[in-house]
Structure 1
């Protein structure tokens, strides 16, 4: 266990690190743009999703969320702090997952379960100056899943193209027992170790109250942090050597009410600079599906290398199936489940297009201009990308889905000649949200 004095030192070091005052090995930059006012979905799509670039949405994006009223209070100093009484009233008896930031368990913090009211009691004691050696951080709590009737927040439209959680919502029995929507709550000084998000997904994180400091590394820069055994650091504050190539990182402070968009494959470490509550989603769509697929392929290669000495004792199909079982245990997903996800995505999108082709609306509900060429290009690109993934999976059903993809250009050509501009607009966001440009 880490002592209280060491924890204080670590907290001080983290502040120095994120203020650019520590470790000469890392080159710091502050390049994350803030979106101060709402922008169109297309603008966000092309500038951030497709380019895989981070950004921050300011307070306008969360100002109407119910949790902004329920979960926080304004202090005398004008800052927002957790509304402990209300939180305990709602969640007091609920059992929640809590990480101990003073203990390492393999590549994460040690986790326990405790009642929410007991976690709040601990949190209050920390605020009141208790020298408790443990450093508890409530994290990865499926709050929305456990309280489905409680209106907590509304996902911003830029993040609603969410294939990962769509699978949970629509076909959970065949894919996953968990969703990827979480609540985090923690005192000053709690933190999340260095990592990239699950399956190399995107993530977004909204601060309800408090401040976070993010240290983010563009894809590939994390390679410069590996040790001689090829392992990434658990905590980037442990990096003190100057005799290596310096990686570039981006550091950013996220305030109360702000949402940060974390792109696919960006490794990061996060610190709570104040008592903080946040809501987080992991998600992916057509913009980063190729990166997700690449990650899954690399995970399979790792499994194959680890058990290569068993290959000779297994027949071809037995070896393949065994590797897939181990991959599922290690990663939480394998090729079969990835195939199920893509199958669902393609079929539902084709259904949308087919319904659009056959619909004959009586009135035009919306006359906003739609870029038919963009819709057609992005649809075709997405289906091409998904077809390539499916064919690579090498599962028999993939070919039928690949064949289904081939009808997309014809469907789009029919759709573009329909005299129903409002219908095109209605499905525009759906279609653009599941796309990948290759030009």
Structure 2
């Protein structure tokens, strides 16, 4: 079982419950579960499902059917990113789920388990408020930044919708950018296998790789939790915790990845360590570059391709969030609590990274901007 369950508190104690979850779960990097009360008023639950919890396929088809969605062959995944996503229409996928009819335009044998994964639903339908982020997880630097910097790019955020039949699953993995994640079941049931950070090392195989399916290996010597997530429940997965997820029946869920003050240090460590690996892997090419600045530029380009973020974007993220937090004032206690957490964390992170500013491309204005920002702080 998950170590503890948190039920939404009465609004009269909103600040206390918010602070409790932030300190125990986010800063403490521990999992938790919110009860179905936290999602019961979502349009995604009231408009998309019947009283028995099953999906309203006709409504989903009429409202969103024309949208293009990405699907993968869930039954043939050897690791988290091993299968290419195939674009189909949402209408076609719903028809496939209902009637088991093969998906149109896909040259694959009939009988595969197709899983709709990583659909940027909120970007596709920005005016449709299908759900609201649970208050406890609302301090989200990553999506706040993406919304401001890349408002018109359809795939440039970290909010996803998943829909799959019984038997669809997600292989063993940890989330991108050392992020937190929360996942809410709109309909259906999921079975989670969750491993505290570091426990995955006990599962490394003879080839040096982690298994894609932990249900096929001996877990007796490895600390882990098994949790069955019911409709409406929201599960929080900490930074760096590996997990594997199986749909026990037809399941639709919403998932966000995000970072904030509590996990930005993990992201910085990931970027720094990954950049060092990039430099080691291509160090034999260093002499081919005009100077150190050109070398650093190439390393940052590779880092961005590998992780989806590099030093310039990371520093821009910190400057963006820090400036917003300094300029914004809010009368709500819970906002002021996390605003001060954000400012304190950004100050500390910038002081850690000052030695890395020389590794930025020559034309990047981050060094001067960061030094000026530290003067304001």
TM-score by length of structure 1 reads: 0.75
For residues 166-208 of structure 1, give each alpha carbon's deviation from its aligned partner in whole angstroms, at most 9, with x where no partner exists: 1111122799951111110010110001111110101100000
Aligned residues: 356
Structure 2 vs 1, CA of residues 123 and 290 (structure 1 numbering), >3 Å: closer, same or farther? same
Give, in whole Å, the separation in 2 of the partners of 1:195 and 1:184: 16
Give, in whole Å, the separation in 2 of the partners of 1:295 and 1:175: 25
- 1:194 alignment counterpart: 172
State whether residues 120 and 155 of structure 2, in contact with CA within 8 Å, keep that contact through their aligned partners in structure 1: no
How does 1:277-316 map onto structure 2 within 5 Å?
277-314=252-289, 315-316=291-292
- 2:182 alignment counterpart: 204
State whether residues 163 and 251 of structure 2, in contact with CA within 8 Å, keep that contact through their aligned partners in structure 1: yes
State whether residues 210 and 255 of structure 1, in contact with CA within 8 Å, keep that contact through their aligned partners in structure 2: yes
Query: After alignment, is 195-204 or 293-302 more displaced?
Result: 293-302
Shift of 1:392: 4.5
How does 1:49-68 map onto structure 2 within 5 Å?
49-68=26-45
- 2:106 alignment counterpart: none
Structure 2 vs 1, CA of residues 345 and 247 (structure 1 numbering), >3 Å: closer, same or farther? same
1:138 lines up with 2:116 in the alignment: yes
State whether residues 217 and 266 of structure 1, in contact with CA within 8 Å, keep that contact through their aligned partners in structure 2: yes
1:123 lines up with 2:101 in the alignment: no
Give, in whole Å, the separation in 2 of the partners of 1:211 and 1:135: 17
1:88 lines up with 2:61 in the alignment: yes
Aligned equivalent of 1:350, options 302, 317, 326: 326
Shift of 1:403: 4.3
Structure 2 vs 1, CA of residues 133 and 369 (structure 1 numbering), >3 Å: closer, same or farther? closer
Structure 2 vs 1, CA of residues 336 and 407 (structure 1 numbering), >3 Å: closer, same or farther? closer
Structure 2 vs 1, CA of residues 119 and 201 (structure 1 numbering), >3 Å: closer, same or farther? same
For residues 78-129 of structure 1, give each alpha carbon's deviation from its aligned partner in whole angstroms, at most 9, with x where no partner exists: xx111111111111121100111123376433321111111111111349xx
- 2:202 alignment counterpart: 224
Query: After alignment, is 287-296 or 35-44 more displaced?
Result: 35-44
SS of residue paired to 1:286: coil
How does 1:360-375 map onto structure 2 within 5 Å?
none
State whether residues 204 and 261 of structure 1, in contact with CA within 8 Å, keep that contact through their aligned partners in structure 2: yes
Q: RMSD of the TM alignment (CA)?
A: 2.8
For residues 259-315 of structure 1, give each alpha carbon's deviation from its aligned partner in whole angstroms, at most 9, with x where no partner exists: 001111111111101110001101110111000111112221232232232223333
TM-score by length of structure 2 reads: 0.86
1:273 lines up with 2:248 in the alignment: yes
- 2:5 alignment counterpart: 34
